[in-house]
Amino acid sequence: MAWTLYNIAKTATQLGGGMALLALLGLYYYQNSIIYPASLNDGHGYCATPDEYDIPYEAVNLTTTDGETLQCYSMKQDSKSPNYTNKTVLILSPNAGNIGHSLPIASIFYKKFGYNVFIYSYRGYGKSTGAPSEVGLKKDADTVVEYLSENDRQYQQSSIVLYGRSLGGAVAIYIAATKSASIDGMILENTFLSIKKTIPHIFPILKYVTSFVHQRWDSESLLAKVSPKLSVLLLSARKDEIVPPQHMDEIYRLLPSDCKEIVKFENSYHNDTVLQEAYWDTIHTFIKDKVNPVGL
């Protein structure tokens, strides 16, 4: 702690005094609130449920290793149906809001494509307990993957596809790098190499003080641990105003996957990629043709 305070004071002196010191202290001690705006978009208010979209579901509460409770929606297809695909999409949400806001997307996966869908709120988001942090969100991911791969028979026998947007993409990369045996495919949309490398793009004035960012999400260093056997689809908005599109290009380059594809949406911004023409056809073709069982 003393080393950290010394470096904050040293940097503040170099930048020119008291206001800089206050700014640096704020950046260091309050960055969790900035990086994880869990209350935005009424995130802690009303949370829609799948039945509002005519999707049968089970409300599941999972307990993490450090005692937090995760709000989850489990949406299973009829495994006895002749049209059953035996594929499950694990939705890893972007920042802000709650899982109710992602149900229109869950509906497409479930009703249009016929996949099982599992979605959960990160700790501190929606109705999940606790406060968000990088360490905490990784524990949440560990808990969910353990449930899907070990504690539920239908999911255990199903091919698991990660679908991560923005922050959810960083969570997906963490899962793929550390739980590769449990994962069969990964879709990443507009995610980043690291928080540290993203900040100068959003707040250019802070580019000299990124060393004080402790919520790192250093996906760049994890990519080499992703299994070459994992099929990956990257969806990149080329006018992304939050994550530089070059981050997605570099993720694509660093991924060791034997089967990987990047699709670029030239006129798309960070939050409207899901609305782009061919977006959903691209995703459906990827899951159907690149994730076992192929053709379903």
pLDDT digits (tens, 9 = 90+) for 152-194: 999 999 999 999 999 999 999 999 999 999 999 999 999 999 9
Mean pLDDT of 122-128: 96
Mean pLDDT of 16-30: 47
Mean pLDDT of 215-226: 93
pLDDT attached to residue 86: 97
Least confident of 129-143, 154-168, 192-206: 192-206
Residue with more model confidence, 114 or 206: 114
User: For residue 57, what is the DSSP state?
Assistant: -
Instruction: Return d(Cα 26, Cα 4) in angstroms, integer.
Output: 13
Q: What does pTM read for this prediction?
A: 0.88
β-pair partners for 150: none
pLDDT tens across 280-294, in order? Answer: 999 999 999 999 999
**Please, what's the largest Cα pairwise distance for the chain?**
70
pLDDT tens across 34-80, in order? Answer: 778 888 778 888 999 999 999 999 999 999 999 999 999 999 999 99
Q: What stretches of the chain adopt beta strand conformation (E)?
A: 58-63, 69-75, 87-92, 116-120, 159-165, 185-189, 231-237, 260-265
Instruction: Return d(Cα 75, Cα 73) in angstroms, integer.
Output: 6
Strands 69-75 and 58-63: antiparallel
Measure Cα distances from 188 to 142, 154, 235 in Å.
19, 25, 6
Which domains are assigned to the chain? 2-290 (3.40.50.1820)
